[in-house]
Amino acid sequence: VAGPGSTGAVASVEVLSAGLAAGGPTNFVAMDLKQAPASYRLDVVAYLELGLPAEAQAASAALALVAAAKRQLSAARALGGERGLSFRCYAPAGLDHAVCLPCSEDVAARARYHQLLRLPKVPLLLPECALPWADEPHSRAGGKLINPHLNCGPRPGWWKGSESTTRSVFIRGMYEYSHYMQDNTDDNGWGCAYRALQTSVSWYRMQYYTEKDIPGIQDIQRLLKRIDEAHKDIVIGSKKWIGTVEGMYLLQDYLGVECKMMYCQDTSDMASQVPQMLNHLATEGTPIMMGAGQYAYTLVGLCFDSASGEAGFMIVDPHYTGKDELKNITQKGWVGWKNLEWFEKMTEGGFINCCLPNAPAAPSTSEQLRPAVGARGVPR
């Protein structure tokens, strides 16, 4: 692997075609398949030094990947024998490096890895949590923008807080950004809380806490009609508003997660409760649904100066009606840092309600490290 005219080490990588069974072209030699050979699934990852020329990086990567593949193949033959063995690469939250693990499809093996790596007992090492190939989407992705807030920086551009007393905390993991006019539904002007709820549910899906689908707006209305006495007469398909309290009901019933409600009379009251919100992000790591006056938002990060009390809020705004173009969304502030004055304007001095959902508790021993809640589908 090297560019034209390059010098230095050149690594040659032999690729075995996967098209053998399909009758496609292959560089396999003639094989006697009367006795099927053991099947080994190898998965390798390599770190590259920043600043190297492209051809040097390619050569370094090839050498490292081939060496890693050889080590895995040797281990697979020793551990798996004729039964075969699978390796998968992971970059779990809480570790500063990737790991390649065998047999992660086995529940007992995952439990041992969690203990050895001191990982929390949440779904981090399921086979579907493995690092995807470069052109592969997240296995639970639905085609919407994922984590658009990452393009907004760790602190607001206007931040004046002290370096020593400023702390920034964000949700852990991934979510998809739901907003007005998606899913072939015109909810402009009334569907913001539905969209904020969908964003929250996507977080639980993408962390593999649940296999349940993200409910559509009419699905949410059906759920509310069933579980909430106040909405027993809701017309399915109507433009009925919902709020943060309804969002809490739905998270509790649909996903089975516990939620806390935080009621703020105004922005001054919310400012006094920022440390509680900061602690939620640091410990639970889940998105916070916010009802600010007549508007709904999702909070995915906080920047707080404990000395001055200054706070910045990373807001995902569901009121956006355009295409999923990241640059346009972040530059125009649909996803970005907001201050208390912005909330004061949005609420016109009114109330702010916050729904703080918990991450699900650790699974039971018999189901350890499987997805914790949910089954596929929504009621019809």
Residues with catalytic roles: 192, 317, 319
Give the tens place of pLDDT for each residue, 22-74: 444 444 444 444 444 567 888 888 888 888 888 888 888 888 888 888 888 88
DSSP 258-302: -EEEEEESSHHHHHHTHHHHHHHHHHT---EEEEETTEEEEEEEE
From 90-104, 209-223, 294-308, the region with the lowest mean pLDDT? 90-104
Higher pLDDT, 7 or 234: 234
Q: Over the stretch 340-355, which tens digit does the pLDDT of each residue have? A: 999 999 998 889 999 9
Structural tokens at position 250: 């739905």
Q: What is the DSSP string of 236-256?
A: TTS-----HHHHHHHIIIII-
How confident is the model at residue 361, as a pLDDT?
Answer: 60
Tens of pLDDT, residue by residue over 206-233, are 998 999 999 999 999 999 999 999 999 9
Q: Check pLDDT > 50 for residue 150.
A: yes
State the average pLDDT for the chain.
84
Residue 190, pLDDT score: 97
**207: three-class secondary structure by DSSP:** coil
Q: What was the pLDDT predicted at 358?
A: 94
Segment 110-126 shows an average pLDDT of: 87
CB-count burial class (<10 Å; 0-12, 13-18, 19+) for 87: buried
pLDDT reported for residue 41: 82
Retrieve residue 380's tokens: 């019809």
Q: What is the pLDDT of residues 317-346, one digit of tens each?
A: 999 999 999 999 999 999 999 999 999 999
Q: Average of pLDDT values for 292-317?
A: 96
pLDDT score for 56: 85
Residue with tokens 């658009």: 148
pLDDT class for 364, splitting at 50, 70, 90?
very low
